[in-house]
Amino acid sequence: MSPPLYDVILTDQIAPGYDRQAVVAALVRLLGQDERQIADLIQSGNQTIKSNVDARTGQEYIRSLAHTGAICRLVPGRDPATPVAADGNPQTASDATDLNIRVISPRPQPADVAFAPIQANRITPAPGGIDVNRIDTPPIAYDAIALLAAYEDHEAEKIYVLIFQNGAKRPYQCDANRIVFNDFPDTKATSVIASLRLFFQMVARHHPALRVDPPTAGFLVGRPPAILEMDRVKYTTMLGKTLSALTAKPVV
C-alpha cells in the first residue's frame, strides 16, 4: 500500500519576531518567484506550495521554510494516480470529467462587511433549486448559484458551505450538518463530508457554469475541506469581488 501523501500549505501567518517584508524577500530567494507573487500568496493564505509528498518530505520542506519566518502546515493530499470519489471508492475518468466546473483564482482583498455571509437556517430542496429556509429569501434556482465553497472552521469543529447567488454580494453560509441530504437525490453517503461532496456534484450537474475556488476544487476530487485560516469576511470578500469581476454584472 502506498504511503499517505500530503500538501504543504503556506498560511498568512508570520512567526513572532519576523518582519513581513523580510519574510517575502526570503521566500522570493528560496522559491524563485517574484515579490508580488509571494506577497499575494502570504496575504491570501492557505495556499498550496508543494503537493503530494510523503510526511517526511513535507516536514523537511516546512523546516526549510521556517528560518524565513513563514508558517506552513501539512494537510492530507491526494495521489493523482488514484483519485477518490465521494463515497471513498476509486474515481473513474468519467466521474472526473462529467462536471464542467470553473475554478476561479481569487486575489487578496481587504475585508469588506458588504460581503459578510448571511446565515442559512438549513438547506432543503426546492423546485429547480435549493431553499435556505429564511423568510426573507425565496428559493434559489440551481442556475442562479454563482459559486460554491466549502471550508472547515477548526475552532468550531464544523464544515461550512458558502453559496454565492448571481447578482448579490453576500453569500449564504450553512453548517454542512444542516443540509438535509436525505431529501436531495443521490447525495446521502456514509459521512457528512462525503454527502457534501455529492451535494456539490449534484448542483454542478444542474448548473454547468458553476464556479468554485481552488480549495473547493480539491475537495471535489477527494481532499478534505480546507481549514480556513483567514478572517471569514476577508475570505468571502476575496471570493465575492473576484466573482463580481468575472461576471461583470452589477451587484446589489
Give the C-alpha separation, 42 to 10, whole Å. 7
Q: Which amino acid is at 6?
A: Y
Mean pLDDT of 83-102: 46
Instruction: Say whether 41 sits in a helix, a strand or coil.
Output: helix
pLDDT tens digits for 132-150? 999 999 999 999 999 999 9
pLDDT at residue 58 greater than cutoff 70: yes
For the entire predicted model, the pTM comes to 0.65
Provide the pLDDT for residue 101: 81
Give the C-alpha separation, 211 to 73, whole Å. 27
Parallel, antiparallel or unpaired: strands 47-53 and 6-14: antiparallel
Are 41 and 10 contacting, i.e. CB atoms less than 8 angstroms apart?
yes
pLDDT at residue 90 greater than cutoff 60: no
Instruction: Say whether 34 sits in a helix, a strand or coil.
Output: coil
pLDDT tens digits for 197-246? 999 999 998 988 899 988 888 888 777 888 887 889 999 999 999 988 88
pLDDT at residue 180 greater than cutoff 90: yes
Percent pLDDT > 70 in the chain is 86
Provide the pLDDT for residue 3: 64
- What is the CATH number assigned to the segment(s) 6-76? 3.30.1390.10
Provide the pLDDT for residue 85: 40
Are 150 and 160 contacting, i.e. CB atoms less than 8 angstroms apart?
yes
Domain with CATH 3.30.1390.10 in the chain: 6-76
| Residue 206 DSSP code | H
